[in-house]
Amino acid sequence: MQRLSNADTENASVQLYVKRDDLIHPAVSGNKWRKLKYNLLDAQARGERAVLTFGGAYSNHLYATAAAGRALGLATIGIVRGLELEAKENPTLRFCREQGMELHFVSRAEYRQKDSVDYLAQLSERFGAPYIVPEGGTTRLALQGVAEMVSEIKEQLGAMPDFIATAAGTGGTAAGILSAGADVLAFSALKGGDFLADDIRQQLDGYTQSGTLSLLTDYHFGGYAKWNEELLDFMHDFAAEFDVRLEQVYTAKMFYGLFDLIKSGCFQRGTTIVAVHTGGLQGALSA
Ligand SMILES: *Cc1c(COP(=O)(O)O)cnc(C)c1O
């Protein structure tokens, strides 16, 4: 946990920390490690030999699953969104292949069936009944892993912070933090992120003591994996000021939004915020 203090936090009397989950592991970084932990332990406990999961061309989840599978001796199969990617590989997919992941490219229409029971049954038959982890690794077991991070934060800080901030894609990380009873500031990395409120509520079905969600949907910079010069400048300045690297898909958008809220006086004086560095630095444009 690292304190981030500058003129903006001082003026607002906000105590801001960053939870450096980006430092957990070079390839299985941040929230992907948290979300995979109990899924993969479960796969091992059941004696599974292979794990199948889903992701897009730049998926940090596929990247992390490939590396973790290799480390644990589990075969991995990645269902990748976009038939065109078969011909034009990128560094994320190359890394996955190098870790031994079997990549299977599907059309966007087929990919959309990724949660349908029939489709999953077909995949299971085709790939020899692997252990299936949904897109983003977001399951009940993932929430359990993320909740552990909240326990660490509480212990390291000596108390629960007023807010825990996170970037949101599927909302699984936000849901995991909420499930541990913390109040969450979730910054959508996608355009039109309002759907996340319902998705997160569904993921929390059955949890009784969950915290309060504040969903911020205006810091998407044009949409998922979109960015502009202003965001890259922010990343650069942030690295220079705090010695913390960010990436342009998730974490820079969250910190940009968080500092914007701090500067506009949205928080009561004395508020304590812990922002989670969810990792993903292997996809960073140099800051
Ligand atoms: C996947 C990812 C997220 C989004 O996490 P969700 O649990 O899907 O909301 C945030 N930050 C980074 C760096 C990620 O790789």
Note the pLDDT tens digit of each residue in 184-239: 999 999 999 999 999 999 999 999 889 999 999 999 999 999 999 999 999 999 99
Q: How confident is the model at residue 266 (pLDDT cuts 50, 70, 90)?
A: very high
Among left, alpha and beta (phi > 0; psi -120 to 50; other), residue 17 is beta
Whether 129 and 152 share a structural domain: no
Which one from 59, 179, 188, 210 is the annotated catalytic residue? 59
278 CA to centre of ligand 1 in angstroms: 6
Whether 40 and 107 share a structural domain: yes
Question: Is residue 286's pLDDT more than 80?
Answer: no
Quick check: CB of 31 below 6 Å from ligand 1? yes
Whether 170 and 51 share a structural domain: no
Among left, alpha and beta (phi > 0; psi -120 to 50; other), residue 47 is left
Whether 218 and 260 share a structural domain: yes
Q: Are 72 and 98 in contact (CB under 8 A)?
A: no
Q: Average pLDDT of 146-169?
A: 98
Quick check: CB of 276 below 6 Å from ligand 1? no
Quick check: CB of 251 below 6 Å from ligand 1? yes
Whether 147 and 52 share a structural domain: no
59 is catalytic: yes
Q: How confident is the model at residue 85 (pLDDT cuts 50, 70, 90)?
A: confident
Total count of domains within the chain:
2
pLDDT in tens, 61-78: 999 999 999 999 999 999
Which of 137, 162, 193 is the C-terminal boundary of a domain? 137
Inter-axis angle of helices 91-98 and 60-72, nearest 10 = 10
Inter-axis angle of helices 140-157 and 172-179, nearest 10 = 60
Question: Is residue 287's pLDDT more than 70?
Answer: no
Which of 137, 155, 189 is the C-terminal boundary of a domain? 137
Give the per-residue pLDDT at 88. 84
Quick check: CB of 279 below 6 Å from ligand 1? yes
Whether 87 and 53 share a structural domain: yes
Q: How confident is the model at residue 89 (pLDDT cuts 50, 70, 90)?
A: confident
Which of 93, 115, 137 is the C-terminal boundary of a domain? 137
Q: In 3-state terms, what secondary structure has residue 17?
A: strand
Residue whose structure tokens are 């990645």: 78
Q: Which domain holds residue 21?
A: 2-26+139-283
Whether 133 and 143 share a structural domain: no
Q: What is the CATH number of the domain that holds 35?
A: 3.40.50.1100
